[in-house]
Amino acid sequence: MKRAIRDSGTLCEAVGLSDSNDSARKIGGENQFPTFVPLEFLGRLNPGDPADPLLRQVLPVTQEDENADPRFVTDPVGDQASMVASGLMHKYNGRTLMITTGACGVHCRYCFRREFPYSENRAHDWTPALEYIRANPTIDEVILSGGDPLTLVDTKLFDLFTHIESIDHVRRLRIHSRMPVVIPQRVTADLIDRLDQSRLAVWMVIHANHAAELDTLVLDRIDAMIRGGITVLNQAVLLRGINDNADALTELCEKLINAQVMPYYLHQLDRVRGAAHFEVPTQRGLELIEVLRQRLPGYAVPQYVTEQAGEPSKSPVGQVLSKSKVL
Ligand SMILES: *Cc1c(COP(=O)(O)O)cnc(C)c1O
Ligand code: SF4
């Protein structure tokens, strides 16, 4: 992470795009949410290709500054309203989500937490969050999120695992991380061994949007996790100009299932300020899912979902539920 690229000019240079390229100019969006691209990810980009689907995920562009659409806001999914303790969100039945850190192994330009006030909401001390979970026997799953929990050092992370394991009614640990994809070296034998030894059922949700992200080293680390007893799922975001075509999604899902990773969710973009240019109309998304259904085994077709503030679960696109309709 120390060696990562931290400005768009250097990023353009590194992939052989000239400084005269529009996107190389510093833009407002980059001040709110700086460029951050690790060299391990950079190596998977196509040099000289401004339309590269991996580059588009990480390179700030001037469209981020065009805030004309008022439906794109700073907290699109109502995260703030579901904070129950410092660093802890409790939105859905049985599951709590811990904001373990504000740091990520990469900065994704479409991120729904690109303006999340981490300094106010991240847990500096786990105690209140753990006490909340301990006092709520209905919680059987703890989700580690962020930011990216795998940016924490092992001592902190393992300490947190131990605290969670000490709460009897918690049965499952879920880790949402983009590190296995962006810096796969983070998935060390030590980490896998520690999770293998846990009494908890361990689920790892990785985050790849395009097949080109899944190179040999990523696939090797996925294999190691599976051998270590971890169930691995993938979630992706439907992104204009990146994966909004049937071939790209088919290739992604095929590569995942060949690696024994279940394509879990395809997310409709959350309407966060600065990301409007990534939005794909839901009608188009539904058509793409239909093509996947025709081409792939049923288990390879992700659930196409959207997150609506105040809803009791993620909602399947096309049939947004409301609280009153559930039970
Ligand atoms: C998405 C999310 C979860 C997990 O939802 P699943 O549908 O079980 O993957 C839990 N808590 C919060 C706050 C979430 O945003
Ligand atoms: S890794 Fe996840 S939380 Fe971090 S910037 Fe990317 S999408 Fe956002």
Q: What's the pLDDT band for 327 if we cut at 50, 70, 90?
A: very low
Token code pair at residue 306: 């959207």
CB of 114 closer than 6 angstroms to any ligand 1 atom: no
Q: What is the pLDDT of residues 147-184, one digit of tens each?
A: 999 999 999 999 999 999 999 999 999 999 999 999 99
With a CB cutoff of 8 Å and minimum separation 6, the contacts of 235 are: 176, 205, 206, 207, 264, 265, 266, 267, 302
- The torsion defined by the Cα of 254, 272, 33 and 238, in degrees rounded to 10, comes to 10
Counting ligands in written order, which one lies closest to the CA of residue 150? 2
Confidence class of residue 119 from pLDDT cuts 50, 70 and 90?
confident
The pTM is what? 0.94
Of the listed ligands, the closest to the CA of 93 is 1
Q: Work out the mean pLDDT of the chain and round it to a whole number.
A: 92
Q: How far apart are CA 25 and CA 217, in angstroms?
A: 33
Least confident of 24-38, 51-65, 234-248: 24-38
> 19 pLDDT band (50/70/90 cuts)?
low
Could you tell me the distance, in angstroms and rounded to a whole number, from the CA of residue 263 to the centre of ligand 2?
A: 18
pLDDT tens figures, 185-223: 999 999 999 999 999 999 999 999 999 999 999 999 999
Say if ligand 1 is within 6 A of residue 89 CB: yes
Q: Percent of the chain at pLDDT above 90?
A: 82
Q: What is the pLDDT of residue 27?
A: 67
Asked whether residue 322 carries a pLDDT value surpassing 60, the answer given is: no
Domains in the chain with CATH codes: 8-65 (no CATH), 80-326 (3.20.20.70)
Give me the pLDDT at residue 25, please. Answer: 56
- Consult the annotation and say whether 253 binds a ligand: no
